[in-house]
């Protein structure tokens, strides 16, 4: 039975989600969260005064403080405590004035939602109306004691979570971002290979998946930027990231190059698809061009996939790609003279492939220009 591409993509997405759920960094976060919650629950009953009557809020504080990054944990914890304090303050105003009634409770909740929309509380914005509601409904006649116990025990849990996260510092997410960027590099190479196969097939080509893949390249680039931003965040204040600043700088440069390559490949893909399926804006492809165009696409795709462009093999592949592009340009020039027509997808592809070759070269090579 043939599986539809949409169903196959959905299954693939589920598989990726399950894989990410059991990554070592995620499992470490699970273990630390369990430890922090357990410690907070053990400490909470020993707090002085009336705060020991509300021990169940300490594990909640530990839970909200556990983030994959140290700075994320500290920031969300502070925002949560500020949100709680603001909500308790609103409830205190009601307690000291009209008291909790059928109309004052919804009023203070509405005020809490309004205040939380200011953007001042970040991750703690949901706790503003929640804290106000809990103080008025659960605290009741003991609103003062409840407010003190609620805020204190949450703070206990937050402190426990921060200490656990600091003592068992998470590994920087740099390696994860780097692996995803390498996968994107391989994907770009495969896509350019697909274009090379498409222009050399009998037209119209039997498979069209490469056209759909081109549309998703921009989304992939955006997700990679997010992953790299998370990697940068994971290094802030992390003792395990000291002395490794150059790693993220190199990855940022690599992503910038791949992003530009992805734009060029999408342009090639769109122009080629327009020509193949005679879509609006299509330009006819000279019958003499598919062979050199396909060869140039395959050669440049091999350069994109190269993880060590400075090696002798990398130099050889770049030389082969430069020659393939030169042959394509020569064929385009010859056909331009013979057919007396310069417009066509061959010109665009040749220009873009040469630019991709330059972007895929080592920095020193790019600075001095690519030798064809």
Q: What is the DSSP string of 284-347?
A: PPPTTSHHHHHHHHHHHHHHHT-S-TTSHHHHHHHHHHHHHHHHHHHHHHHHHHHHT---SHHH
Nearest to 358 by CA among 294, 304, 293, 298: 304
Q: Kindly give the confidence (pLDDT) of every residue in the chain, 372 residues in length, as a single tens digit, with 9 standing for 90 and above.
A: 444 444 444 555 576 667 667 677 788 889 999 999 999 999 999 998 888 889 999 999 999 988 877 888 888 899 999 999 999 999 999 988 888 888 999 999 999 999 998 888 988 999 999 999 999 999 878 888 999 999 999 999 999 999 998 888 776 667 777 788 888 888 889 888 888 888 777 655 555 555 556 666 767 777 777 777 777 777 776 666 665 555 567 787 888 888 899 889 888 888 877 777 666 766 677 777 888 888 999 999 999 988 777 788 888 999 999 999 999 888 888 877 666 666 567 888 889 999 999 998 876 554 444 444
**Under 8 Å between Cβ of 296 and 318:** no
Q: Report d(CA 174, CA 260) in Å as an integer.
A: 21
- Residue 24 corresponds to which tokens in the numbers above? 């070592």
Q: Which domains does the chain have, with CATH numbers?
A: 7-167 (no CATH), 174-368 (1.20.58)
SS3 call for 2: coil
How many residues does the structure list for the chain? 372
Nearest to 195 by CA among 182, 178, 208: 208
Q: Report d(CA 234, CA 247) in Å as an integer.
A: 13
**Under 8 Å between Cβ of 84 and 172:** no
Asked whether the bond before 12 is cis by omega within 30 degrees of 0, the reply is no
CA 260 from chain centre, in angstroms, equals 17
**Under 8 Å between Cβ of 349 and 293:** yes
Nearest to 57 by CA among 197, 152, 196: 152
Q: Report d(CA 368, CA 356) in Å as an integer.
A: 15
Burial string for 115-133 (b: 16+ CB within 10 Å, else e) reads bbeeeebebbbebbbbbbb
Beta carbons within 8 Å of 9's beta carbon, 6+ residues apart? none
C-alpha dihedral sign at 261, 264, 270, 275: negative
- Residue 194 corresponds to which tokens in the numbers above? 């697909």
Task: Rounding to the nearest 10 degrees, give the CA dihedral for residues 125, 131, 137, 141.
Answer: -150
Q: Report d(CA 214, CA 208) in Å as an integer.
A: 11
């Amino acid at each position: 039975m043939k599986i539809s591409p949409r169903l196959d993509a959905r299954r693939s997405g589920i598989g990726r989600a399950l894989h990410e759920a059991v990554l070592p960094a995620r499992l470490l976060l699970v273990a630390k969260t369990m430890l922090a919650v357990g410690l907070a629950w053990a400490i909470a009953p020993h707090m002085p005064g009336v705060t020991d009557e509300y021990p169940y809020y300490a594990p909640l504080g530990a839970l909200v403080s556990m983030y994959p990054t140290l700075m994320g944990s500290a920031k969300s914890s502070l925002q949560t405590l500020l949100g709680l304090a603001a909500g308790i303050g609103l409830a205190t105003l009601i307690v000291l004035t009209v008291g909790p009634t059928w109309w004052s409770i919804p009023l203070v909740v509405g005020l809490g939602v309004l205040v939380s929309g200011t953007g001042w509380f970040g991750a703690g914005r949901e706790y503003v109306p929640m804290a106000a509601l809990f103080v008025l409904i659960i605290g009741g006649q003991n609103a003062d004691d409840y407010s003190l116990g609620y805020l204190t025990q949450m703070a206990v849990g937050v402190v426990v979570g921060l200490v656990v996260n600091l003592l068992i510092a998470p590994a920087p997410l740099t390696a994860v971002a780097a692996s995803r960027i390498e996968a994107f590099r391989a994907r770009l190479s495969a896509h350019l290979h697909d274009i090379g196969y498409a222009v050399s097939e009998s037209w119209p080509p039997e498979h069209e998946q490469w056209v759909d893949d081109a549309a998703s390249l921009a989304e992939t680039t955006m997700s990679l930027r997010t992953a790299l931003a998370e990697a940068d965040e994971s290094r802030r204040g992390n003792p395990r990231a000291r002395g490794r600043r150059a790693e993220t700088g190199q990855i940022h440069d690599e992503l910038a190059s791949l992003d530009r390559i992805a734009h060029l490949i999408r342009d090639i893909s769109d122009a080629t698809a327009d020509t193949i399926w005679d879509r609006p804006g299509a330009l006819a492809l000279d019958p003499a061009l598919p062979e050199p165009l396909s060869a140039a696409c395959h050669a440049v795709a091999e350069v994109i996939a190269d993880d060590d462009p400075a090696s002798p093999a990398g130099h050889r592949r770049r030389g082969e790609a430069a020659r393939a592009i030169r042959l394509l340009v020569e064929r385009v020039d010859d056909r331009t003279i013979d057919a007396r027509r310069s417009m066509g997808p061959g010109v665009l592809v040749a220009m873009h492939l040469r630019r991709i070759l330059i972007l895929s070269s080592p920095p020193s090579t790019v600075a001095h220009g690519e030798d064809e």
